[in-house]
Amino acid sequence: MTRSCARPGCGQPACATLGYDYANRTVELDPLADEAHPAYYDVCRRHADSLVVPRGWRLLDRRRGAAALAGHLTAS
3-state secondary structure of 1: coil
Question: Which listed residue (16, 18, 44, 67) binds Zn ion by CB under 5 A?
Answer: 44
User: 17, 48 in Cβ contact below 8 A?
Assistant: no
d(CA 42, CA 20): 12
Minimum Å distance from CB 24 to Zn ion? 25
> For Zn ion, what does the binding mask look like between residues 12 and 41, x meaning CB under 5 A?
x-----------------------------
Tell whether residue 48 is a contact of Zn ion (CB under 5 A): no
Q: Which residues of this protein are in contact with Zn ion, per CB under 5 A? A: 5, 7, 10, 12, 44, 47
